Amino acid sequence: MARIDWGFQGRGKWCSCKRTTLIICSINIFVALYGLHSLYNYIYISSNIDSQSAVKYTTDQIRKMEESIRIRRASEPLELIKLVKEVEKELSSEASEVELSRPVKQKIADEILQRLKSLDQNSNASLKREVVESWRREKLEEAKKSMNSTTPPEEAGMLVRALESNWALLFEEIGLWMPTEVIYKEHDDKPEGEEEIDDGIIPGRPLPPECHAEIHTDYDGAAVRWGLTHHKESAADCCQACLDHAKRAKPGDKKCNIWVYCPSETGCYSPDIYDHKNGECWLKYAEKPRLNFKDRYSESYRNSHPAAPLFVPWVSGVVSA
């Protein structure tokens, strides 16, 4: 009897565990189905909200929008845009620097200097500019006809670009400076029949004869006024400063009899340690004035001083003390 009771109790416990397991599994399945149902409802509702919030256009509205886009594209200034791009490309090509070799620059400087030396010493700035411009046109035509020239085609092409677009830059690189000429247009309000008075005034603040100005010239001498802190608007003003200094000098003092002026906007070269700026006016004294440099720096000097340009950038003059 004891074994029979034990067996009955074992089967009862097994049935109880099975029932509990089924209940737990049923609950898990119900929770999973409920979760899937909630997720499906969320996705469905979201898709409905998105579809309802999307803008729906009618066929007539779509047709009008397409017509508007077509009109806008047709009204674009295509030719103007193309022209602007071509101009920008041309300007960018012109802006590119043309590096010429030193022998070519030396040859250019020699030819220009030879043309200028053929002029009379009293030639004005306008005539000198015309001579240099005439040389440029001749050289440009010769470079373009490279087949009939001794210049190699590659060098001729670089020379053409330099003379056409970088002429001013090339002028600065070889150290050539030409005095500017200021042209004034004066209104003639003289009464009819009245004789005109020739007052001899030259437009553009001319240099007086007593200044004895020499372009591309640097005179040596003991400085009585340092140009680093003494700037003037023009060479004529620098010369006048020298004359005034000589007049105000006390007995026994060194009187200015040499003036040296830097006219170049990019500054003037000098073998010293200073950076010489445009407008520097050096007042000097020398019992027997002598030249430091004249016209252009020699090839041997430029080989030992690579920073030196071809032409002497200074303007100088010797005055009577």
> Following DSSP, what letter does each residue of 135-158 receive, concatenated?
HHHHHHHHHHTGGGSSS-HHHHHH
Lowest mean pLDDT among 3-7, 143-147, 237-241, 248-252: 3-7
Decide: helix, strand or coil at residue 233.
Answer: coil
pLDDT of 150 reads: 57
Could you give phi then psi for residue 111, rounded to 5 degrees?
Answer: -65, -40
205 or 153, greater pLDDT = 205
For the stretch 234-279, pLDDT in tens is 999 999 999 999 999 888 889 999 999 998 888 999 988 889 999 9
Predicted confidence (pLDDT) per residue in 76-115, tens digit: 777 888 888 888 776 665 544 456 677 777 777 788 788 8
148-169: per-residue pLDDT in tens?
555 566 666 676 776 766 666 6
Among 9-13, 34-38, 271-275, the minimum mean pLDDT is found in 9-13
Q: Is the dihedral angle over the CA atoms 209, 212, 216, 222 positive or is it negative?
A: negative
Q: Pick the residue with more confidence: 130 or 178?
A: 130
Strand partners, 284: 223, 258
Which of 113-122, 174-183, 301-310 bottoms out in mean pLDDT, i.e. has the lowest? 174-183
CB 239 within 8 A of CB 299: no
Tokens (6 digits) for 93: 């090509």
**CA-wise closest residue to 220 among 165, 160, 290, 173:** 290
Q: How many CB atoms lie within 10 A of CB 126?
A: 12
pLDDT band at 175 (very low <50, low <70, confident <90, very high): low
Pick the residue with more confidence: 107 or 288?
Answer: 288
Three-state secondary structure of 9-71: HHHHHHHHHHHHHHHHHHHHHHHHHHHHHHHHHHHHHHHHHHHHHCCCCCHHHHHHHHHHHHH
Question: To the nearest 5 percent, what fractions of the chain are helix, strand and coil?
Answer: 55, 10, 35
Question: Amino acid identity of 301?
Answer: Y
pLDDT at 198 over 80: no
